[in-house]
Amino acid sequence: MTPTQYTVLSLADRPPPYLSSAQLARRAGVKAQTMNEAINALVRKGLLDRQGSTEHGRIILISVSSEGHALLRDCASAVDALEEAFLSSLYPSEQAALRNMLQRILSRESKAPSHSV
Give all domains of the chain, ordered by start, each with its CATH number. 3-110 (1.10.10.10)
pLDDT tens digits, one per residue of 23-77: 999 988 889 999 999 999 999 999 999 998 888 878 999 999 999 999 999 998 8
Give bridge partners of residue 20 from the DSSP assignment: 61
What count of residues does the chain have? 117
Sort residue 58 into left (φ over 0), alpha (ψ -120 to 50) or beta: alpha
pTM of the model: 0.73
Handedness of CA 3, 7, 8, 10 (dihedral sign): positive
